[in-house]
Amino acid sequence: MAVDYKGRIPNNVDLSGDRRLQRALEHWQPRFLNWWTELGPEGYQAADVYLRTATAVDARGWASFGYVRMPDYRWGIFLAEPEQDRTIGFGDEMGKPVWPEVPGEFRAALRRLIVTQGDTEPASVEQQRRLGNSCPSLYDLRNLFQVNVEEGRHLWAMVYLLHAHFGRDGREEAEELLYRHSGDPDNPRILTTFNEPIDDWLSFFMFTYFTDRDGKYQLKSFAESAFDPLARTCSFMLTEEAHHMFVGETGIGRIVRRTLEVMQALGTDDPDAVRAQGAIDLPTLQRYINFWFSSSLDLFGSETSSNAATYFAAGLKGRPDEATFEDHLCLDTAERIAVPDGAGGVAEEEVPTRNAMNEITRGLYVKDCAIGMTRWNRTIKRAGFDAELFLPSTRFRRTIGRWAGAPVAPDGAPMADDLYRRRLPGWLPTDGDKAYIHSLMHAVTEPGKMAGWIAPPARGIDGKPVDYEYVKLH
Ligand code: BYC
Q: Note the residue count of the chain.
A: 474
pLDDT of residue 1: 62
The whole-number average pLDDT for the span 326-340 is 96
- The answer to whether the CB of 305 is under 6 A from ligand 1 is yes
In 3D space, the residue among 293, 291, 308 whose CA is nearest the CA of residue 361 turns out to be: 308
Of 114, 212, 218, 230, best ligand 1 pocket probe by most atoms within 8 Å of the beta carbon: 218
Q: How many CB atoms are closer than 10 A to CB 257?
A: 18
Phi and psi at residue 205, to the nearest 5°: -65, -35
pTM for the full predicted model: 0.97
Bridge partners of 349, per DSSP, are 337
Per-chain mean pLDDT for the chain: 96
pLDDT of residue 57: 72
- The answer to whether the CB of 188 is under 6 A from ligand 1 is no
How many angstroms is it from 300 CA to the middle of ligand 1? 6
Which helix or strand (DSSP H or E) is residue 124 part of?
Answer: helix 107-127
- The answer to whether the CB of 358 is under 6 A from ligand 1 is yes
pLDDT of residue 404: 97
Q: Which residue's CA lies nearest to atom 45 of ligand 1?
A: 307
Is the CA virtual torsion 297, 299, 300, 302 positive or negative? positive
Of 106, 115, 116, best ligand 1 pocket probe by most atoms within 8 Å of the beta carbon: 116
How many angstroms is it from 121 CA to the middle of ligand 1? 13
- The answer to whether the CB of 98 is under 6 A from ligand 1 is no
Has residue 132 got a pLDDT over 60? yes
How many angstroms is it from 27 CA to the middle of ligand 1? 29
Ligand 1 atom closest to the Cα of residue 306 is: 2
What are the tens digits of pLDDT across the range 23-67? 999 999 999 999 999 999 999 999 999 999 887 776 655 678 999
How would residue 183 be classed by pLDDT, with cut points 50, 70 and 90?
very high
pLDDT of residue 79: 93
What are the tens digits of pLDDT across the range 267-314? 999 999 999 999 999 999 999 999 999 999 999 999 999 999 999 999
How many angstroms is it from 298 CA to the middle of ligand 1? 8
How many angstroms is it from 285 CA to the middle of ligand 1? 27
How many angstroms is it from 400 CA to the middle of ligand 1? 10
DSSP letters for 370-422: HHHHHHHHHHHHHTT------PPPTTTT--SSTTTT--B-TTS-B--HHHHHH
CA distance 63 to 59: 10
Bridging pattern class, strands 63-69 and 334-340: unpaired
Ligand 1 atom closest to the Cα of residue 308 is: 28
